[in-house]
Structure formats: C-alpha cells, structure tokens
Structure 1
Amino acid sequence: MFDLLYKNISRHIQLSDEEFEQFSSLFMLKSFKRKETVLREGDYCLFEGLVLNGCFKVFYLNESGSEQTLYFAVEGWWITDIDSLINNVSSILNIEALENSDVFMISKKDKEMLYNDMPKIEKLFRIMNQQSSVALQRRILSLTGKTADKRYLEFLDKYPGLEQRITQQQVASYLGITHEFLSKIRKKISLGK
C-alpha cells in the first residue's frame, strides 16, 4: 500500500524500515470523487498529499473569472498550496479531482513534528521544495518565452498520456490559450507543419 510513497521518497533520502514505518504512519489515505474539491480558494491549506492514483488540477481564477491551471497532479505527484501551507495564509488556489482519486495526505502539524523527530524528513521536503521551485521557474519561462506550439509539445512530453484523460479545455487552460487555438495547434502538428 505504501510502495509509491516509499519509491517517491527513496529518490531523495534513505530511511530504515523503522523510520519509514514512523513516517508513513502519519499519512492518511483519502479518496476523492471526480469533480470533488480538495482545496478551495479562501481556505487554509493544512496538508500535502501524494497522488496514488487519479488526476487533479491545481488552478486559480484570474481577474476575468477564467480558470488558469498551474499544473496537473497524476500518480506520483504531490498536491498542496505551498504558500498557504508555509505562510498560514488563505489559499488563492483550488485543487479539484478530475478522476476518482486516492491520495496519501500528511497534515502540516504531523509534518512539523517529523521535522523535529527525524531530520531526514526535513531534508526530504527541502529537496522536494527545491525541485518544485525549479519546475515553477521552468513553467514561468515557458509561459513567457515560448510559443503556444512549443508549450503544447512540452505539455505532451511532461504529461505523457494525460491528454487522453482530460478535456481539451483543461489542456488549453494549462497552456494559457483558448481551446479553439489549441485545436489549430493540434491540427498543424498532425499535418507536420
């Protein structure tokens, strides 16, 4: 049951069997139905969660009220609003299940306790936060410096197979374009232009 969690953290740190048991015992398995909200704008984020199966979109509503997707979280990805979690401010993000999904969740309180009891865990989350910062920087550079065609190809590379699991509207929201423009891009790429 904890195989994905073990594989996920083992890429960054090594824990003994006893340490992993202590670590994993603080995670709760939560199931979410399709279209169920995990976090709503205005709420406080008090968790981090590892997606075991399913798919989530992490998004906000821009000034015109349109959804802008920051990222999708599929199997092996983490979901949270790091600003709300760390700074104890209300969230500007929404997290919604796009499929029936299962997540291992750890509370902020339990995570802080682990930092004190197991310094390796603080190192784990530091490394994960650094990787998140790199991904965010790359995402910003892509949005501000690349064409929509290139962003679409990056999306396909970053999320293999996801396009078959979500709507074209959701892909367009992630790319920052209209779904009509996405249709033109897809047609152009399929024709090899």
Structure 2
Amino acid sequence: MNTIHLAKGEVVQRSGDLYSKVYVVKKGLLRSYAIDEKGKEHVFMFAPEGWIVADNQPPSVPCDLFIDALEDSVVSVLTKESARENVDIDAIIKRVSVLQKRIILLMSAPAIRRYEDFEATYPDIIQRVPQKMIASYLGITPEALSKVKGERKHGSKNSI
C-alpha cells in the first residue's frame, strides 16, 4: 500500500486511463465524476476521510470516471488486486449501500429528499464542497438546489 499526498485540484485518474487504482482517503476529500459530451461534469460520489473511491472497470479496460482532490489530501493507493486483501469489507459495503440508495433516489425521489439524504450521508462535507458540485451530485441545477435549501429553511416540502 502506497501513501501519497495530493494537492487540491490534483487529478489522480482520468476517464480512459487503464489500470486504475483504488484510493483510500486518510485525510482530505476526493470526488469521482464523469464529463458528458457537452463538457458538463456529473459528480458520481464524494470520498471524505475513511471512504474509498475507485472506478469499477477491470484493470485492462479504460475507466469511466475522473477522480480528483477537492482538498489537500492524503490517500493510500492500491491496485485492484491488492485492494481485495487490504480494504476493509465494511468500507466496501458502505460504498455500495450509499450508491444503491442514491440510484433509487435519483430514479424516484424529489430533490428535497435527495438533498436530505446527501446531508445524512455526508454530514461533514457540506461546507467543504462547492454548491454546484452538490447540485451535480443531486442531479439538479444550482438554482434548484438554492430553492430546495430555501424550502427546507422555511419548513416547506412541496415542490421540486
């Protein structure tokens, strides 16, 4: 297991890379995201301290996701082969659980419910992540996120 220090903004994986790695966040904050054909970023997940982040493609298949540091970070880097032996199974279960719940919410829940789930899932990063990235994660515009936050502040759960 190799430990590296990442500067804020440093990209450790690009879409199309081969032999992508598994990153275990010791300190800081990473995110994984895709960029569509129009150049728009779509946040897949955030990885604060204690979380893992990786692209799920087999080692010899080009990966789909970019991974970068949102803060100065310290991460352990593993090959996918060594991750099987060195990553805590509870961390994997947590990641899969969060992603499964997120997909179900994206398919069926109003934005306010998705935001509440984001708050519950990532309580320590809301102030650490730009609002446009939170909106991207939720699948809404930054303007819709502002509306959701306003509704929560005033106790209304009507629209969005």
- TM bin (shorter chain): 0.7 to 0.9
More helix, by proportion: 1
- Report what 2:71 is aligned to: 99
Q: 1:51 to 1:124 in 2, by over 3 A?
A: closer
The one of 4, 15, 24 equivalent to 1:41 is 15
- Determine the structure 2 residue equivalent to 1:57: 31
Pick 1 or 2: higher relative contact order, CA cutoff 8 A, min separation 6: 2
Give runs of aligned pairs for residues 27-176 of structure 1, distance below 5 A: 27-83=1-57, 86=58, 88-108=60-80, 111=82, 121=85, 129=92, 131-176=94-139
- Structure 1 residues not aligned, in runs of 5+: 1-26, 116-120
Give the number of the structure whose residues are more often strand, by fraction: 2
* Cα pair 2:59 2:80 within 8 Å, conserved: no
Identity %: 33
Once the two structures are overlaid, the 10-residue window that deviates more, 55-64 or 169-178, is 55-64
Q: Flag structure 2 segments of 5+ consecutive residues without an equivalent.
A: none
Rg: which structure is higher? 1
How far has the Cα of 1:124 moved from its partner? 5.2
TM-score between both structures, scaled by the size of structure 2: 0.88
- Rounded to whole Å, the distance in 1 between the matches of 2:124 and 2:95 is 22
Q: Partner of 1:82: helix, strand, or coil?
A: coil
Please say if residues 28 and 49 of structure 2, whose CA atoms lie closer than 8 Å, have aligned partners that are also in contact: yes
SS at structure 2 position matched to 1:140: helix
Between Structure 1 and Structure 2, how many residues are aligned? Answer: 156
